[in-house]
Chain A
Amino acid sequence: MNIGKQIKGGLLTRNPVAVRLVGLCAAVAVTTTLLNGLGMGLCVTAVLILSNGILSALWFYLPQRLRTISAIMVTAALGGAADLLIQAFFPALAGELGLFLPLVPVTVILLGGAGTYAYENTVASSMLEGLCQGLGYTLVLTLAGFLRELLGKGSFGFGFLEGGQGIRLFPEQYAALGLNGPVGGFLALGCVAALVQYFNGRPKRTKKKEKEGAKG
């Protein structure tokens, strides 16, 4: 498998949130700030890499009918571990993510297609695929979180910069409070998805233009 193509696929052409539109529920809910989006994204990435690797190593020993359920079990175990680790080492982030931390395994199963890629490829390739898909997820969530935090709270880096208050870019009275709710999540994700689609569609568009230019 072509490594460059895999990376481009995860970030752009097969981006889990912006193109394949999976795991939207958690994405809409947790992207209220830059840090939340980034934290959720990295957590999902770590679990996705490990679960893809383990499932890929196990595929020979698993009969076909047990594959989906074993994917769920492996992911749930790893997700539970991630949940506990975050609660132990980053209690503030755990408080912010709240209910959506237990949703990490669900997101991972959706992103990894319940291990379909892992069962058909080598361990290294599966882990790389997990990394790429996870980074694509993180990229979209971070951008959406940045956008919502900027416009909805008027700050940058809430939770880790300037003693947790974030750098205030404009007074809170000018912030569009509606973006902190689910509406803002859908709007921000829609904008980021449009951006990703723009990068996906760009080469085609220039070719088309050249053709039209040749005709004219």
Chain B
Amino acid sequence: MKEYQDRKLTVAPSPHIGSPVGTRAFMLDVLIALVPALAMGIFFFGPRALALTAVSVLGCEVFEGLYRLALKKPGSGGDLSAAVTGVLLAFACPVSMPYWIILIGDFFAIVVVKQLFGGLGKNFLNPALAGRVFLSLCYLPEMTLWIRPGTKFWLGLAQTGADGVSTATPMADLHNGVLPWMGTSGVRLHDMFYGNIGGCIGEVSALALLFGGAYLVLRGVIHLRIPAAYLGTVAVLAYATAPLTAASQWVLVQLLGGGLMLGALFMATDYVTTPCTPWGEVLFGIGCGILTVFLRVFGGVEGVSYAILLMNVCAPLLEKFTRPRRYGAPKGRRKKEEKGGGEK
């Protein structure tokens, strides 16, 4: 045991210098970047938004701890990745959600999607998104009940959807092919930007999410490639599929509506479930954009979560296709090398 500590000379393979920046530091940055969105969520939906997020974080950390304990693995609650999953899952749920439902979502995200496949770094789907999709499959009425934003309509901590005043979201109008300020929700464009609309806790305020995203980019936690490719593709396709009269406004509604900002900035940039090659990231973003618009325009559903999950599954394939050329290797030989590698 620890023989090497007594030796005067150690011989070890590189790398020799470690960095203090680990999973925990990155996850802490992501949590900090999510604070503005949470603040806006609390501002529009009241203290229940905070309570729901706290329950979700606690649930994720407890499930992770219990699973690691049950399987006698070293605990991994300290790296905060479960906390990020908890926050993102709560952000992707309406504020009126009963607490027990979000705990089921936490269980599915942490135990089934993440830990059963080996824990952080080995899950093939984004846990928070998979949890959200599972909840919308199993508890659809609760997942699609949108409470009106504003102090007057705040829910008490123990109240659920039946006690609140519900409203239509801009996405409902979008699916009907009308601009929100002409449709049933009556929402204006600046409301959509600030977040004064019905929707999930963390997705409503594009402004706060953009702040958080900018923080992550400046801190070097995420690259701009995926969000830029994702949002750019959605913008182009939204322009192409818009009704003839108001194409540019239609593009803005598509960009600001639904979970697109939250998905593009925080969920599609998950390290584990996205490609790690630069061109792979770009293709990943483009694929997400195409699927999102396709599902929104032709499927009549908010497609962000499904789009990102589908592209998560494609991530290994994209990595394989976009493997960078080895430095100094001749250009034409790449395909042969890959074939040789495959046979081994």
Q: Which residues of A are interface residues toward B (Cβ below 8 A)?
A: 174, 176-179, 181, 183, 187, 194
13 extra interface residue pairs, beta carbon distance < 8 Å, beyond A177-B139, A177-B140: A174-B100, A176-B104, A176-B137, A176-B139, A177-B137, A178-B134, A178-B137, A178-B138, A179-B138, A181-B137, A183-B137, A187-B112, A194-B116
A194–B118 Cα distance when bound, in Å, is 13
Main secondary structure of the interface of B (DSSP, over half): helix
Residue of B nearest to A180 (CB): B138
Q: Give Cα A183–Cα B137 distance, bound, in whole angstroms.
A: 9
Chain B positions within 8 Å of A178 at CB level: 134, 137-138
- Cβ contacts under 8 Å, B139 to chain A: 176-177
Interchain CB contact under 8 A, A177 and B116: no
Main secondary structure of the interface of A (DSSP, over half): helix
Roughly how many angstroms separate A174 CA and B137 CA in the complex, as a whole number? 13
* Complex Cα–Cα for A176 and B139 (A): 7
Cβ contacts B303-327/A at 8 Å (1 or 0 each): 0000000000000000000000000
Considering the chains assembled together, what is the distance between the CA atoms of A187 and B100 in angstroms?
A: 21
State which residues 123-152 of B face A: CB under 8 Å: 134, 137-140
Docked CA distance A174–B139 (Å) = 9
Question: In the complex, what residue of chain A is closest to B116 when comparing beta carbons?
Answer: A194
**A30 → B minimal CB distance (Å):** 20
- When chains A and B are docked, how far (Å) is the Cα of A187 from the Cα of B116? 12
What are 16 A-B residue pairs whose CB atoms fall within 8 Å in the complex? A174-B100, A176-B104, A176-B137, A176-B139, A177-B137, A177-B138, A177-B139, A177-B140, A178-B134, A178-B137, A178-B138, A179-B138, A181-B137, A183-B137, A187-B112, A194-B116
Measured CB to CB, the nearest residue on chain B to A151 is B138
Name the residue on A nearest B137 (C-beta): A178
Query: Which residues does chain A contribute within 8 Å of B116, judged by CB atoms?
Result: 194
Cβ proximity bits B103-119 to A, threshold 8 Å, 1 near / 0 not: 01000000010001000
CA distance A174 to B101 in the complex (A): 9
Q: Return the chain B residue nearest A187 by Cβ.
A: B112
How far apart sit A38 and B47, CA to CA, in the bound complex (Å)? 49
Q: Whole-angstrom distance between the alpha carbons of A178 and B139 in the complex?
A: 8
Counting chain B CB atoms within 10 Å of each CB, which of A174, A176, A179, A194 scores highest?
Answer: A176
| Closest Cβ neighbor of A183 among chain B residues | B137
B contact residues around A176 at 8 Å (CB) = 104, 137-139
Residue of A nearest to B100 (CB): A174
